[in-house]
Chains A and B, each alone.
Chain A
């Protein structure tokens, strides 16, 4: 990696201040950022570690909303269990080393098109809390590796409304074991949401036709024979666009069947 300065503030305010420097970048669990640095694919002037900020860690319940601090590691979310689908999802990210370091904030901020958390955030209709505002998940994920975050803006927490029933069905890419296709289905008081990760060139997206079908009949059978258009799907070594589109249908049905 290239040389960089390093700072480890203990409050969000100090972190934001530190990030004011040109080309400064937050470092959370480092599970994405450190490999990128080692390959010399990024050249930040300063890394601002978020690991010393206690107000960004931990999971709390506010009424029917689960608030997960952005610096909370996957292993802690996996162990929580309040929203079973969310904990299952976190427990199947990477391996124990990744889960004990990687954070929810890092995952949603990175918005990898194959990452799992974006599907949970979008599928549950979460709210992304930053140092300066709250952003609905629907507005947060703007494209592959792109989000609504401004330069220097930090995700501080993610708020998940408790669903009536939800599940995440992930089909692993054989090498990385990220999602080749992952579908998060949730039934809430406000309707049904179906969020798809891994499949689209545009990153995580909501599969509206499936939501409509499930709104009137929340059963796997309601999605029989359905699959999204393959046009915008990713095509790579591990699967064609048509295969991914097909898998979205399969994984959505499995998620509905597993929802509890």
Chain B
């Protein structure tokens, strides 16, 4: 029987009432009395020297409050990078400055040159058009390999080259891997591109800076996945404002997918300008601005080689990747192609020797950072594509080849530094074969062929490292932050609870699922628990939401804080029941003396805590409020197996996804309906990447896909009904809920399944095509089949 409340119940998402009735409170819904508006003048060339910025005419235009240029930010900190990667030779990465407004040079289309603050948005825009910016244009660096050539134009003149770092992992394995590949019975090689993407959350970014002279306090309202991180980064590194003088509020946020993790120039600008002009300053991104200023995702060019012995056991893996950083280092950019990517190269397999080389490159493009999955989709895609290619070359069944090489014993220490605590990859594969009805594929293919269509089946596995992350470990790896999470549980006198979390919900449904956890622990109705997030003024310091970490890390903090609450409540109950603490049991919201029918209700205990007339004041304080911080002992390792069936129209090259099945092991599940939704959304984005989305630049660094006219987002009719299952569960061994996280799995696991299916379809039609790059557009398919 499915549960109808608490952990395991598909409780309806309580937040949807306000989202679906237009009652949400997004940053752009906030208007602060007296606010002015900023419009940014942005570079329309990719690379050049700013010879002059003449604001004299613009400054006289109606409504203009003040115009800022890079000169106003001399002496102000630049946007910081939160992760320092050490290269193969033990040297720190090259780390260029990132000014709030361009100083000296512009480095990508969209780089802000000046900012006009005016009474209305239109006036600010009018005045921005009247600014005369002289730019001496330089050749743009767009292609990563060209960027690394001798004599290539430099994005940053003060760096020695366009190479951010050359990372080797595990460097000590390099020679052994080379040798194993040389001696292998078979080596499969694949060169591929994991294309650049734009996150495209439904809500574009917004920032409002506010300053109180009387209190010398700053407030920033912003579209962020992690308000505390923004407060720390912006306060400490950019503007020099201590935390107690800076409040950051991220109210309802309409999707992030990673792009709202990072600290952006516009946030710092609005906070800075609000004090400078002594008025609140608001910025609302247009969709066009979003395309050229939101951090982009992925953009890897990779060569991968898989070595196998004569029995088809994987013996070694070598990868060589160029990862685009764009023009500046976004907040967590350096970590994505390294620690979030190289550490996952073992996948679900026992490959004893692995070497990953990553060259991170500066180019005259928008900075690239984490996008749903962040590094793990890049790892999964290349690994699962090369395994598929190997199976074809060897003439073996791709599922059998995978099963043969699965990790089956846990814990399993990979050769790439991580230790999988638990899993059962054969179980998810079995489940997949069942829910995808792989037995019925041959008949479905026949039916497609009768209609002149080719049909292909693609299967793959994935594993991800979620629940980010043990602070001491990531500290050693270069993180400049800890990655714990926090919760404060406040019980009110009449028994209701408010739980304040440092994580943030921007679509994930925390307000529902987190409440289920706490209510379940106490045995009370979920509606007695409210979840508060998004405001540094009323939540404990926390690191926010990304990397499928919220339930695994934030949920664990909540469990710890609730445990403290229960322990204290038991003491109060013991006092009321004149029993010993050790004899008190909590069940269904009542405290009972074990083995008796003496009991006191939850509400009586909470009331006693706040009206302590009959209370053990000599032993414990009044009140019932506890905080816990939780730092995970390890990552969590969700894993699964996905299958995709496509139909391909050989005349036009158009591919349609006909069936998609996902068997995931997320450990324990709090709310199955929300988990389904997360997987659905992730698969939708994965299909989007596989078939449709591409952020393209021309050789001059002009963004070609700068609007929805050219950037293809997946729509409802691009995706089939999904068949998803998460009944195969090996609970996480090291967090109290046994949960692993499910936010990114769909986006990580689906692109290789789609592309494998397309290759299978083409091969079934006699086309000897063994690779095609994403997005698998009709024109690419047709060209591949007729090239």
Q: Point out residues on A near B: beta carbons under 8 Å.
A: 39-40, 171, 174-176, 180, 237-240, 243, 246-247, 250
Other-chain contact of A247, B125, B652, B692 (Cβ < 8 Å): B652
B685 to chain A, nearest CB (A): 16
Quick check: B778 and A39 within 8 Å, CB to CB? Answer: no
Assuming the contacts A175-B711, A176-B709, A250-B651, asked whether A239 and B696 have C-beta atoms less than 8 A apart, the reply is: no
Which 6 residue pairs of A and B lie closest in terms of their CB atoms, listed nearest first? A175-B712, A239-B779, A174-B712, A176-B709, A243-B779, A250-B651
CB-nearest residue of chain B to A244: B779
Query: Is residue B471 within 8 Å, beta carbon to beta carbon, of the partner chain?
Result: no
Cβ–Cβ contact B710 & A175, under 8 A: yes
11 A-B pairs, CB-CB below 8 angstroms?
A171-B652, A174-B691, A174-B775, A175-B712, A237-B694, A237-B704, A239-B778, A240-B779, A240-B783, A246-B786, A250-B652
**CB-based contact B652/A175 at 8 Å:** no
> How far is it, in angstroms, between the C-alpha of A238 and the C-alpha of B711 when the chains are bound?
10
Note all chain B residues with C-beta closer than 8 A to A239: 777-779
| Alpha-carbon gap, A145 to B651, bound state (A) | 30
Give bound CA distance, A246 to B654, whole Å.
13
In the complex, which of the residues B705, B778, B779 contacts A175, with contact meaning CB atoms closer than 8 Å? Answer: B705
When chains A and B are docked, how far (Å) is the Cα of A163 from the Cα of B602?
79
B-chain residues with CB within 8 Å of residue A240 when the two chains form the complex? 779, 783
Residues of the B chain whose Cβ atoms lie less than 8 Å from the Cβ of A238: 710, 777, 779
With A39-B288, A237-B704, A247-B652 as given contacts, are A174 and B709 in contact (CB-CB < 8 Å)? no
- For the A-B complex with A171-B654, A174-B778 known, give 18 more contacts whose Cβ atoms are closer than 8 Å: A39-B288, A171-B652, A171-B778, A174-B692, A174-B775, A175-B692, A175-B705, A175-B712, A176-B708, A237-B704, A238-B779, A239-B777, A239-B778, A240-B779, A243-B783, A246-B782, A250-B651, A250-B652
- Using Cβ atoms and an 8 Å threshold, which residues of chain B touch A250? 651-652
Q: Which of A39, A239, A240 has the most CB of B within 10 A?
A: A239
Residues facing A in B52-105 (CB within 8 A) are: none
**What separation, in Å, do the CA atoms of A39 and B708 have in the docked complex?**
14
Residues of A within 8 A of B652 (CB): 171, 247, 250
Most chain B beta-carbon neighbours within 10 Å: one of A39, A175, A238: A175
Q: Out of B708, B711, B713, B782, which one reaches A243, CB within 8 Å?
A: B782
A residues near B710, Cβ cutoff 8 Å: 175-176, 237-238
A237 near B705: Cβ-Cβ < 8 Å: yes
Kindly provide the distance from the CB of A125 to the nearest chain B CB, expressed in whole angstroms. Answer: 28
Count of B residues near A, CB < 8 Å?
A: 26
A243–B778 Cα distance when bound, in Å, is 9
Residues in A with CB closer than 8 Å to B125 are: 40
Q: Which residues of A contact B708 (CB under 8 A)?
A: 175-176
The chain A residue with its CB closest to the CB of B649 is A250
Interface residues of B in 707-734 (CB under 8 A from A): 708-713
Complex interface: chain B residues within 8 A of A175 (CB): 692, 705, 708-713
A175 → chain B, closest Cβ, in Å?
4
Whether A237 pairs with B696 at a CB distance below 8 angstroms is: yes
In the assembled complex, the CB of A13 is this many whole angstroms from the nearest CB of chain B, namely 34
Residue of B nearest to A175 (CB): B712
Name the CB-closest residue of A to B777. A174
Question: What B residues does A39 contact at CB under 8 A?
Answer: 288
Distance, CA A239 to CA B779, complexed state (A) = 5
Chain B contacts of A174 at CB under 8 A? 691-692, 712, 775, 777-778
Q: Report Cα–Cα, A198/B786, bound state, in Å.
A: 22
B654 — nearest CB in chain A belongs to which residue? A171
Residues of A within 8 A of B651 (CB): 250
Interface string of B418-454 (1 = CB under 8 A from A): 0000000000000000000000000000000000000
Chain B positions 648 through 660: 1 when the CB is less than 8 Å from some CB of chain A, otherwise 0: 0001111000000
Q: Which residues of A contact B712 (CB under 8 A)?
A: 174-175
CA of A213 to CA of B1, assembled, Å: 67
CA distance A237 to B712 in the complex (A): 11
Closest to B692 in A: A174
A117 shortest CB reach to chain B, Å: 18
CB contact list, B277-293 vs A, under 8 A: 288
CA distance A51 to B417 in the complex (A): 67
For residue B777, which residues in chain A have a CB less than 8 angstroms away from its CB? 174, 238-239
- Write the chain B residue with the least CB distance to A95: B715
CA gap between A79 and B455 in the complex, in Å: 35
Q: How far is the CA of A247 from the CA of B705 in the complex (A)?
A: 23
Contacts of B782 in A (CB 8 A): 243, 246
Contacts of B709 in A (CB 8 A): 175-176
Specify which chain B residues have a CB less than 8 angstroms from the CB of A237 in the assembled complex: 694, 696, 704-705, 710
The residues in B between 728 and 787 inclusive whose CB is less than 8 angstroms from any CB of A are: 775, 777-779, 782-783, 786
Instruction: Kindly supply a per-residue 1/0 record for chain B positions 677-720, scoring 1 wherever the CB is within 8 Å of any chain A CB and 0 otherwise.
Output: 00000000000000110101000000011001111110000000
In angstroms, Cα B693 to Cα A175, docked, is 8
Contacts of B696 in A (CB 8 A): 237
Shortest Cβ gap from A121 to chain B (Å): 23
CB contacts (< 8 Å) of A40 on chain B: these are 125, 129
Residue from A180, A238, A240 having most chain B Cβ neighbours under 10 A: A238
Residue of A nearest to B711 (CB): A175
Which of B704, B708, B713, B778 has the largest count of A CB atoms less than 10 A from its CB?
A: B778
Task: Determine the chain B residues whose CB is within 8 A of the CB of A246 once the complex forms.
Answer: 782, 786
Closest chain B residue, CB of each to CB of A253 = B651
Q: Which of B651-677 contact A (CB under 8 A)?
A: 651-654
* Chain A residue contacts of B654, Cβ below 8 A: 171
**B residues 566-596 with Cβ under 8 Å of A?**
none
Q: How far is the CA of A186 from the CA of B775 in the complex (A)?
A: 35
- Report B610 CB to chain A, min CB distance, Å: 54
Closest to A240 in B: B779
CA distance A243 to B367 in the complex (A): 33
Chain A residues closer than 8 Å to B705, beta-carbon distance? 175, 237
Q: How far is the CA of A237 from the CA of B711 in the complex (A)?
A: 10
Residues of B contacting A171 in the complex (Cβ-Cβ under 8 angstroms): 652, 654, 778
How far, in Å, is B711 (CB) from chain A's closest CB? 6
What is the bound-complex CA distance between A238 and B778, given in angstroms? Answer: 8
**Neighbouring A residues of B694 by C-beta, 8 Å:** 237
Q: Encode contact with A along B625-666: 1 for CB under 8 Å, 0 otherwise.
A: 000000000000000000000000001111000000000000
CB distance from B289 to the nearest CB of A (A): 11
B709 nearest in chain A by CB position: A176
Rounded to whole angstroms, the CA-CA distance of A60 and B287 in the bound complex is 41
> Which chain A positions have C-beta within 8 A of B786?
246
| Smallest CB gap from B694: residue in A | A237
